[in-house]
Amino acid sequence: MTQYLLSVHYVEGQGATPPEEMQEAFEAVDTFNKKLMESGQWVFGGGLHTPDMSTVVDATGAQTVTTDGPFSEAKEQIGGFWIIEAADLDAALAIAAEGSAACRGPVEVRPFQDEPPADADA
């Protein structure tokens, strides 16, 4: 079993979805989520507020600096995500396809690292 991050990507300011379609997408995602929970593949998931609601905290220096976000000025942003557990990449990709159809956005599938190994891989 491997855990995967399924992140939903969108381009800011590109075609706002009409409200009735939004409603359909919400319902589809809800159904999809329930299915994931029933199959035991659900770890966590949710939709995010828009990037302008974010705050960046940087404590790498002597003082903690807090600024109005987002961190990345890129147009492409994450709108929401799931964390799932799947047998292998093919299983994760199949789930991602369902999720993408439900939320009407492309989904990036990215594996979580295993617990750090004791020594570096050759």
Partner 1 sequence: MTDAPTADDIARVFRDESGRCIATLVRVLGDIDLAEDAVQEAFVTAAQRWPVDGLPPNPGAWITTTARNRAIDRLRRESSREHRETEATAMATPNEPLDVGPLPDDQLRLIFTCCHPALSDEAHIALTLRLIAGLHTPEIAAAFLVPEATMAQRIVRAKKKIKATNLPYRVPDAAELPDRLRSVLAVLYLIFTEGHRSSTSTDLVRRDLCAEAIRLTRLVCDLMPEEPEAVGLLALLLLTDSRRETRVVDGVLVPLPDQDRERWDRDEIAEGHDLVRRCLRRNHPGAYQVQAAIQAVHTDADTAASTDWVQILALYDLLVPFAPTPVVQLNRAVAVAEVRGPDEALAEVELLDLDGYVPFHAVRADLLRRVSRTAEAAVEYDRAVSLSPSDPERRYLEQRRAALA
Binding residues vs partner 1 (CB under 8 A)? 2, 4, 87-90, 92-93, 109, 111, 113, 117-119, 121-122
3-state secondary structure of 109: strand
| Least distance in angstroms from the C-beta of 121 to partner 1 | 7
Nearer Cβ to partner 1 (68/90) = 90
Give the whole-angstrom CA distance, residue 44 versus residue 32.
Answer: 13
What lies within 8 Å, CB to CB, of 88 at 6+ separation is 2
Nearer Cβ to partner 1 (92/95) = 92
Nearer Cβ to partner 1 (4/10) = 4
- Cβ distance 58 to 65 under 8 Å? yes
Strand ranges across the sheet with 42-47: 42-47, 76-86, 2-11, 107-111
| Least distance in angstroms from the C-beta of 114 to partner 1 | 8
Nearer Cβ to partner 1 (29/92) = 92
| Least distance in angstroms from the C-beta of 94 to partner 1 | 9
